[in-house]
Structure 1
């Protein structure tokens, strides 16, 4: 699927931040049930707890109401209500803590996780719901960026600063490859993009589709580079505790498979896109 995945255009265009939303008090999770109980334990507890770190349009949170949206939040809600017949509780977290939270049973599913080998050693994964790759966004008038740049190595210079969202797959994929440039790890996607807008950073490492929409909103200066060789091409799915029963993960995978095959995931992406675009009007 190559559908564009935008983010909060209005907040980006105005240089606003969602830091206030991220700084809001965390929801208090219920007492952890044993992950070995699988979906039966979730049903006995009476709710499906979904760990949610904000990254529009995958996961969005209204800073006023606290309500969650975005297509991964919608998928989680549908799985809880349609398959398990329980309501969904979203537990606010950060990208630095989203893996640890599902490991320690603070929630049952982590939303919108890149399926990486390192993470797979620590937790279990569902099948991917959408694909993913990293591109490098920068100001076309930045004299530090070589005109013939083809990959990350061409930007790995001592006078270049690369912005990433701390704890994300972009951070974990890009940071180990950088030998000379400075990597700035920021707590939210808006802050990372604002760093490039304000020229505090020279390059933003982010998903290709969100970078594409950011360029559409900033055509006068923003461009991106699809690095060769590729930095990362993965799928994005749900994360679960490693002790979760294989048969129960299979049930989640069948749910995802059907939602993808019938075009429902694409429809949820469209819904999230329209929500973000409406914010930009």
Structure 2
């Protein structure tokens, strides 16, 4: 029988311990995969910054609607089988709040290179570009305006939601016009309607709602080529596992493929138009 030295025995014991520790770490990683932490908490927290029709909030009831809100609600209830909670935030804080674990998903996040450094993204639910709404009676805006050069002039004020993707886009594109940064969608619309701002920069879908609600005075400048053409998706924390992301991507892709997203967009647009009458 071979006699093992005391040193060899100790080495074998150490290797065995390391192996067990590695196995335990692997098991723990598996335990928290596939949204297990959310399931354990029993609630999916959706970070919500208002941007109709993506994310809408009833000021009287506090209830959330909009097609991204419905997607988040459906993912939580139908896929993860948990309750869904919407957490109020702003576009300035939509990424920071996700990083600090104040919510599990950020809704309707434009996939920009800057944000990709801080968070990961799901498969896209829709696309996005920036348009500008103005009062057709405003002499500062030339009829038939179709380019940034037509509106980027001294004395022109553009309202935009602070920290939103459109804020980032126009901050680069506009060289002469004044940018009026405001906290939310309601404030930017009021600035345009009260004539404190000459134009409102927002998502193409969101601005479509405004022009359809006010066809008597509202007109759109849709830059050609499109300004800030991007994809809109859910944002998740950077450390989210590939397995977790695959679950979310399967859900989003199925909603796009079956036409569910298109139906939700149409429903949200109609609801917004009714609310604005």
TM-score normalised by the chain length of structure 2: 0.84
* Corresponding residue for residue 61 of structure 1: 57
Alpha-carbon shift at residue 148 of structure 1 (Å): 5.6
Q: Which among 152, 164, 182 is matched to residue 178 of structure 2?
A: 182
- Number of aligned residue pairs: give it: 246
Say which is worse superposed, 153-162 or 60-69, in terms of deviation. Answer: 60-69
Deviations 1:147-202 (A, max 9, x none): 46331123211111011111111111111222211100111112112211111111
Alpha-carbon shift at residue 53 of structure 1 (Å): 0.9
Give the distance between the partners of 1:38 and 1:107, measured in 2 at CA: 16
Give the distance between the partners of 1:176 and 1:61, measured in 2 at CA: 30
Give the distance between the partners of 1:203 and 1:156, measured in 2 at CA: 11
- Do the aligned partners of 2:53 and 2:66 also contact (CA within 8 Å) in 1? yes
* Corresponding residue for residue 231 of structure 2: 235
Say which is worse superposed, 234-243 or 137-146, in terms of deviation. Answer: 137-146
Q: Does 1:201 align with 2:197?
A: yes
Q: How does 1:1-281 map to 2 (within 5 A)?
A: 39-147=35-143, 149-281=145-277
Deviations 1:58-78 (A, max 9, x none): 112222322211111111111
TM-score normalised by the chain length of structure 1: 0.82
* Higher Rg of the two aligned structures: 2
Which structure carries more helix by proportion? 2
Gaps of 5+ in 1: 1-35
Give the distance between the partners of 2:48 and 2:107, measured in 1 at CA: 6
Q: CA RMSD in A?
A: 1.7
Task: Spell out structure 1 runs of 4+ moving beyond 4 A.
Answer: none
